[in-house]
Amino acid sequence: MDIANPSEEHLMLREMVRDFVKEHVEPQALEYDRDEKFNVDLFRSLGEMGLLGITASEEHGGAGLDAIAATIVHEELSASDPGFALAYLAHSMLFVNNLEFNGNEEQRARILPKVCSGEWIGAMAMSEPDAGTDVLGLSSTATQNPDGSWKLNGRKMWITNGCIDDDGTPADIVWVYAKTGIDEKGRAQISTFLVEKGMQGYSVGQKIIDKTGMRASNTAELVFEDCIIPKSNLVGEVGDSMSHMMRNLEIERLTLAAMSLGIARRSLDEMNRYATDREAFGKQIRDFGQMQRYIGESWAKYRAMRAYIYDTANNIGLGNSGQRLDSDGVKLFATTAAKEIADAAMQVMGGYGYVAEYVVERLWRDSKLLEIGGGTIESHQKNITRDLSKAPDAVNR
């Protein structure tokens, strides 16, 4: 059994996405990375393929597929264009999957068809200029008005899909976390809101440029200045954000690990072919021990990543928590391994690996963000150590 393709349906999905990537994603990847542009038209075409709502219910326009399917799509897109894949993750996992499993029926029925089709582009806004991993340290605030609506004030930073073009057009809809008070234990009470384009006080502060990598996805600062949000756009109850985060973090981290897998696979493929094509001192460079170390160790890391990621995907449940050890574990291991494999590919390819025309230079740059976004590797180390102290038997299961 191939755990990465456990059913005929999964294999067909992989082949469909791989063909799409070869025909449509690969030809534009270098240009859109170089120009720091988000390919909006290509992105919307994913909706026509049923991929933008891959884990959303069919009732509301989604594909109704599982975590394995989501992992496959992120791997295949990232083997060509991780920046484009990151925009896909922000939409399909951080917004659509969040709404599917945390929104109410009215919210799902009204919004999911638009985001699953690609009519609307979604984002999730948590990080702030002074708060990232420290969720309870958020400074954005929302206060309720007498008519039941909410007034949101604050700034969000590093938001993927926060703007969709260079004209400052904001995301059509954003999943926003904000402080709404203090709970009975004296901790910050965080609540979740759906902010839509056109709502008073919602705007793009700036598109963030000159990023090291992931340049084919737009990153923005979002500004909420006396932003009025209707009562119906509160997700769940006041103070529910932590449960929303916990339900969605595991699939987010799994798919970020899947992005690392795509980067690793492509990097390995490029260095392996180059080691045959390039000769030095009358031999293929793959005959030299130094090259064999880079290729051999990269193969072992890649296969270990693949096994761990798809084992986790086969066991993770959408819309609930319970696999934090492994969702943290796969992201901790895979993101660093992908960076190492991309680095090895660059070393094998020498000067060719160092220039933008050859894909490994871009993969190398893109890989770094995955050690930071969606939880830093330090946060994963902390979580794993803490969880193992509570459940030491997990080691021997």
CA dist 59 and 346 (Å) reads 46
Which among 350, 348, 337, 360 has a CA at the least distance from the CA of 287? 348
- The answer for residues whose C-beta is within 8 angstroms of residue 278's C-beta and 6 or more apart is 284, 285, 349
Q: What is the pTM of this model?
A: 0.96
Q: Are residues 221 and 277 in the same domain?
A: no
**Distance, CA of 35 to CA of 367 (rounded, Å):** 19
- CATH number of the CATH domain containing 110: 1.10.540.10
The model's pLDDT over 291-327, given as tens digits with 9 standing for 90+, comes to 999 999 999 999 999 999 999 999 998 877 788 999 9
The domain tally of the chain equals 3
71 domain-assigned: yes
Same domain, 15 and 81: yes
Say whether both 105 and 157 belong to one domain.
no
Residue with tokens 């031999």: 283
**Letter string b/e over residues 150-161, b meaning 16 or more CB atoms within 10 A of that residue's CB:** bbbbbbbbbbbb
pLDDT of residue 309: 98
Tell me whether residue 65 is in a domain: yes
Pinpoint the alpha helices (H) of 60-194: 67-78, 82-89, 98-102, 105-117
Query: Considering Cα of 228, then 234, then 239, then 244, what sign does the dihedral take?
Result: negative
The one-letter amino acid at 228: I
SS (H, E, C) 138-164: CCCEEEECCCCCEEEEEEEEEEECCEC
Separation between Cα atoms, residue 140 and residue 224, nearest integer Å: 9
Of 217, 257, 262, 264, the residue nearest 375 (C-alpha): 257
Based on the domain organization, do 133 and 171 belong to the same domain?
yes
Q: Which residues of 353-369 are buried (b: 16+ CB within 10 A; e: fewer)?
A: beeeebbbbbbbbbbbb
CA distance 96 to 115: 7
Q: pLDDT, tens digit, for every residue of 334-363?
A: 999 999 999 999 999 999 999 988 899 999
Q: Mind telling me the catalytic residues?
A: 252
Domain match, 76 and 129 both: no
Give the per-residue pLDDT at 133.
Answer: 74
Alpha-carbon span 48 to 117, nearest angstrom: 6
Looking at the fold, whether 82 and 152 belong to one and the same domain comes out as no
Q: Which of 82, 117, 152 is the last residue of a domain?
A: 117
Q: How many residues does the chain have?
A: 397
Tokens of 113: 């068809």
Q: Phi and psi of 287, rounded to 5°?
A: -85, -5
Residue 266 forms part of a structural domain: yes
Instruction: Please check whether residues 352 and 274 belong to one and the same domain.
Output: yes
User: Can you give the residue range of the structural domain that contains 198?
Assistant: 122-240
Q: What pLDDT sits at residue 319?
A: 78
Domain presence at residue 30: yes
Q: Measured between alpha carbons, how far is 224 from 204 in angstroms, rounded to an integer?
A: 9
Q: What is the CATH number of the domain that holds 371?
A: 1.20.140.10
Rounded to whole angstroms, the Cα distance separating 25 from 116 reads: 19
Amino acid sitting at position 279? E
Tokens (6 digits) for 332: 């901790």
Q: Is the residue at 385 inside a domain?
A: yes
Q: Are residues 219 and 256 in the same domain?
A: no
Q: State whether 296 and 357 are in the same domain.
A: yes
Q: Are residues 175 and 246 in the same domain?
A: no
Give dist(CA 34, CA 211) in Å, integer: 11
Place of tokens 């209707």: 230
| β-pair partners for 122 | 173
Q: Is residue 151 part of a domain?
A: yes
Q: Looking at residue 134, what is its pLDDT?
A: 74
Q: Is residue 2 part of a domain?
A: no
Measured from the Cβ of residue 18, the count of other Cβ atoms closer than 10 Å reads 17
For residue 3, is it within any domain?
Answer: no
pLDDT of residue 383: 95
pLDDT, one tens digit for every residue, the chain (397 residues):
899 999 999 999 999 999 999 999 999 999 999 999 999 999 999 999 999 999 999 999 999 999 999 999 999 999 999 999 999 999 999 999 999 999 999 999 999 999 999 999 999 999 998 877 777 788 999 999 999 999 999 999 999 999 999 999 999 999 999 999 998 888 889 999 999 999 999 999 999 999 999 999 999 999 999 999 999 999 999 999 999 998 899 999 999 999 999 999 999 999 999 999 988 899 999 999 999 999 999 999 999 999 999 999 999 988 777 889 999 999 999 999 999 999 999 999 999 999 988 899 999 999 999 999 999 999 999 999 999 999 999 999 8
- Residue 235 and residue 248 in one domain: no
pLDDT at 171: 98
Cα–Cα distance for residue pair 306/309, rounded to 1 Å: 5
Cβ neighbourhood burial of 219 (10 Å; 0-12, 13-18, 19+)? buried
d(CA 243, CA 116): 24
Specify whether 247 is located in the same domain as 387: yes
List the structure tokens of 139.
Answer: 């400074």
CATH number of the domain encompassing residue 183: 2.40.110.10
Can you say whether the dihedral through the CA atoms of 96, 102, 107, 110 is positive or negative? positive
3-state helix/strand/coil string of 272-300: HHHHHHCEECCEEHHHCHHHHHHHHHHHH
pLDDT of the residue at 153:
98
Q: Which two tokens stand for residue 272?
A: 């392996």
